[in-house]
A and B are shown apart, each in its own frame.
Chain A
Amino acid sequence: MFAFLVRRVAYGLAILAGINLATFLLFFQVNSPDDMARLQLGGKRVTAAAIQQWKAERGYDRPSFFNGRADGIDKLTDTVFFDSSVRMFAFDFGRADSGRDIASEVARRAGPSLALALPVFIVGLGLSITIALGLAFFRGTYLDFWGVTVLVAMMSISALFFIVAGQFVLARVLQLMPISGFESGADAWRFLLLPIAVSVVARLGPEARFYRTLFLEEIGKDYVRTARSKGLSEPVVLFRHVLRNALIPILTTSVAFIPLLFMGSLITESFFSIPGLGNYLIEAIGAQDFAIVRAMVFIGSVLYIIGLILTDISYSWADPRIRLQ
């Protein structure tokens, strides 16, 4: 187990190094800091001196990989690559164009993001499983047919529609809750209720339908037939035998998404003006702040890799036949 973890973490680091190098090449080689400066300062009428100053402020005027003018170890560390890439592994992301420290900003915004994403994840998963189980119980009936039809229709509707419609009907026409905004502390739930509800509804279609097929696949297996031939009633077969076995793949795959919950959700946060990480990213893209985008790419990848490792662990925990080696 320990050896497995070490190997997986090492592989994760290798992946991260690759991502880091790839984004560095994208941002600094394919696209030169000069281009960035011109875009930031605006248009073609930018003087060379202004560009030089912009680069100097950010330290982009140094050589990319190897600084011949520096001494000793500084030959490698006093470079753009070291400054903007290697330091990321210590979660030091430098400063945004607005001058704020990116790492502390990220830490501050992770809270609101999580306050939205975690309930959506739990409620969404629970509701999807419940609906899927219900449809599987009534399989082959009109209820199943129309249930699946509604789910397919729901997955054909853009998530943006659910947000817009929810905001309009619940917050504006019925005035049940605030349209958007956020408040930290105990009052946050008033602002979070609507975005949570809307996000849960938006993901219900594809998820419930997928879980329904998982349940039906499970129902076709031999142990279910055995259970039925023992004389167990259908609800007992479904809830005690099928549910437990089908939950294993559902939960183990869901584990992969838990770390990513920190990243927040782009669209929902931006529509409801929740000051989370998703909103941060959208603002960064709008302001074309490359430092933030790169930092978020890095954080997102770290979380994804953690999710992969967690999945492996949960697999072996749920199914004793799988041994980690």
Chain B
Amino acid sequence: MKPVFLLTDLFLFALVIAGAFYIRYVLRAPQLRANWRLALQRPAAAVSAVVLGFFLLVALADSLHYRRAGPPDPKTGARVWAVETRSALDFVLGPIAAAQERTYSSPLAWLGFRKETFERDGKVVRDYPRLKYGGAHLSDPDSQWAGDVAWRSLAGLAGGALAWALGALAILAVLAKRSGESFGAMLRRVARGRTQYPVRSMLLAAGALALAIGAALALSTGYHVFGTDKVGASVLVAAVKSIRTALVIGSLTTLVVLPLAVAFGVTAGYFRGWIDEAIQYVYTLLASIPDVLLIAAAVLLLQVKIDTNPELFETALERGDARLFFLCLILGITSFTGLCRLVRGETMKLRELEYIQAAHAFGVRASRVLVRHILPNVAPIVLISTVLQFSNFVLAEAVLSYVGVGVDPKTHSFGVMINTARLELAAEPVIWWSLAAAFVFMFLIVLPANLFADAVRDAFDPRARLRSPAVPAGTAAT
């Protein structure tokens, strides 16, 4: 086995490490800590964090790539690596992905989707064929199917509940130990929702996730939970694999936006003069070009480069990954202008304040003023607009892929899923499951991202707290 590090893998892991450093930094800075506490005390935000954390784990598992050893070269005896690059997630989903049908099949079906002509008991008939894997274990599907599905889902739910209960007990035990209470007292406190953080809501969210995963896994042993697509591949696998692409687009683009916007915005706002003029010219220029057009132009050019230099990439996965990386880059370049303008305005306001003038009077160097006084004060608006943009990037990917300038058509992504599935809706009978799976998964990522972003904004922007909807008494206790 040989580990493979794709470009986006490296950046994703770098981002996680940077996140860990940020958390350490927050824990040591009382003011930041108080703000984050305020954000996470909101049940919606805490639940969103649990869901997003789960998706992040899936994405990270999908980012541990490796290539298996193939049979050694018969002549030289040297080791040869398999052409196919797999990830840890592929390994987990392996059995589900391996059960490939010939073409479409609806969720939990045991019969094919369209009638075919085949031989049965020596006679040529035209009927719905049995699926190769879906429900293949049933001897008399007509009578057994409902019972079998019910039994499997119950077993899955029970498994999920058990796993959740064990995890919840462990967490409660740790919490009890940390606060020095007895386990029973802690349990009562959590159950009544009398904890500093909404532990009860978080545990319930984790429980819902555990139940859903348990049921999906249990049903996957005999059926295709979300059906199969045109080539017979499981839609569930495609949807789960798309999670990584969505998160990579959301987070990596942010990584491009942040340094550009902050560096240009702060320099323009602080130094003014011709530097300001030049930077303003650049970002007005970039903002003037409609985003989709700039992205389309850039991606078309990239496609030319990739097509004319096939030797740059060893595998198809690397090619798709390079395009994904480039897409994040260009998406970042087209969308940093808004934040840049914001940072510039904020810096211009800050530099006129007394304490900065005092610093100047003491002869503090400009670089030091920027790092010590300006940067920490623009950080909140940067953070707020960063989290607010995340979900926009995830949604933008689907649109761009639809237009044909998104990720590589072979990369798993929600946009690609929607794009390939949209014509299926015109089929008779309707093939709805690919689209439904893509939209549901996207919603499950974007909604928590939006709720989380709202909480962060309200916590870090004191003005926003007044504006967010006041929760009437009674609903707050969830």
Contacts and interface: CB of A to CB of B under 8 A. Distances in A.
A23 B297 contact: yes
B69 to A, nearest CB: 32
Contacts of A296: 290, 293
B402 A160 contact: yes
B425 interface: yes
Nearest to B472: A142
Interface residues of B, number: 53
B429 to A, nearest CB: 12
A161 B300 contact: no
Interface stretch (B171-179, B209-217, B318-326, B442-450): B442-450
Main secondary structure of the interface of A (DSSP, over half): helix
B290 A156 contact: no
A216 interface: yes
Contact of B399 (A140, A144, A159): A159
B293 A304 contact: no
B12 to A, nearest CB: 23
B284 interface: yes
A285 B425 contact: no
Main secondary structure of the interface of B (DSSP, over half): helix
A178 interface: no
A158 B395 contact: yes
A27 to B, nearest CB: 7
Interface string B294-306: 1011101101110
Contacts of A152: 447, 450-451, 454
A145 interface: yes
Contacts of A23: 297
Interface in A14-47: 14-16, 18-19, 22-23, 26-27, 30-31, 35-36, 38-39
B376 interface: no
Identify which of A35, A38, A217, A294 gathers the most chain B CB atoms within 10 Å of its CB: A35
A305 B286 CA distance: 12
A68 B470 CA distance: 72
A18 B283 CA distance: 11
Interface string A139-153: 111101101110011
Interface in B373-402: 391, 395, 398-399, 402
Interface in B431-451: 435, 439, 442-443, 446-447, 449-451
A308 B287 CA distance: 11
B404 A286 contact: yes
Given A153-B447, A288-B300, A281 B472 contact: no
A282 B297 contact: no
A31 B451 CA distance: 43
A266 B398 CA distance: 13
Contacts, number: 152
Interface string A278-295: 000110011010100110
A271 B471 CA distance: 39
B301 A285 contact: no
A212 B297 CA distance: 36
B79 to A, nearest CB: 31
B74 interface: no
B84 interface: no
B451 A297 contact: no
A51 interface: no
B367 interface: no
A263 interface: yes
B418 A19 contact: no
A300 B293 contact: yes
A235 interface: no
Contacts of B447: 152-153, 156
B290 A300 contact: yes
Contacts of A36: 304
B466 A267 contact: no
A72 interface: no
Interface string A228-261: 0000000000000000000000000000000010
Contacts of B435: 164
Nearest to B310: A44
Contacts of A167: 425
B124 interface: no
A126 to B, nearest CB: 22
Given A31-B304, A160-B418, A217-B467, A267 B297 contact: no
A158 B290 contact: no
Contact of A216 (B288, B467, B472): B467
B292 interface: yes
B292 A266 contact: yes
A19 B297 CA distance: 13
B21 to A, nearest CB: 30
Contact of A140 (B293, B304, B449, B472): B472
B233 interface: no
A75 B347 CA distance: 48
A152 B475 CA distance: 17
Nearest to A205: B450
A30 B302 CA distance: 10
B403 A266 contact: yes
Contacts of A281: 292-293, 296
B230 interface: no
Given A19-B285, A38-B308, A27 B442 contact: no
B403 A161 contact: no
B405 interface: yes
A127 to B, nearest CB: 20
Interface string B343-383: 00000000000000000000000000000000000000000
Given A148-B469, A263-B290, A26 B399 contact: no
Given A35-B308, A271-B422, A281-B292, 7 more contacts: A26-B298, A153-B447, A158-B398, A266-B399, A267-B399, A296-B290, A300-B289
Lowest 10 CB-CB distances: which A-B pairs, in order? A156-B447, A300-B290, A156-B446, A301-B288, A148-B469, A140-B470, A35-B304, A216-B467, A304-B288, A213-B467
Interface of A: 14-16, 18-19, 22-23, 26-27, 30-31, 35-36, 38-39, 139-142, 144-145, 147-149, 152-153, 155-161, 164, 167-168, 172, 212-213, 216-217, 220, 260, 263, 266-267, 270-271, 281-282, 285-286, 288, 290, 293-294, 296-297, 300-301, 304-305, 308
26 contacts: A23-B297, A38-B304, A140-B470, A142-B472, A142-B475, A148-B469, A149-B469, A153-B447, A157-B439, A157-B443, A158-B398, A158-B399, A158-B442, A160-B398, A164-B435, A220-B466, A263-B290, A281-B293, A281-B296, A285-B300, A288-B300, A288-B303, A293-B297, A293-B300, A297-B297, A301-B288
